[in-house]
Structure 1
């Protein structure tokens, strides 16, 4: 009985979330440029992160046989 009630409740909530609703909203032209700004900032931020940490990332994937890499030798 509890499983049936759970399934009915889940189905009801799912239908409410999926059913289309009228938003009566206005999307101004600045919204698109804001979205582009977010994408560009994310790409630039990811690029800077990779640039700053590239040596550490490379060391993680290039360690073989316990040998020290050039970056580890320079650190000591």
Structure 2
């Protein structure tokens, strides 16, 4: 699945977005769940993340791109 078609967010996405460690990304994900009342098996969506951090969908998508400068 391509990054542009992802609906749900996991800790690795938060890690890329905020440029933080894995522990912090799980903590942020938990904060988002608490803020929006996401419980049980329900998942955090890209829209939740964009609203929580006050960013656009395009900004989120840009943060998820991994470029290898060595390949250029």
Who wins on radius of gyration, i.e. which is larger?
A: 1
**Common fold by TM > 0.5:** no
TM-score by length of 2: 0.22
Higher relative contact order (CA 8 A, sep 6+): 2
Q: Which has the higher helix share?
A: 1
TM-score by length of 1: 0.22
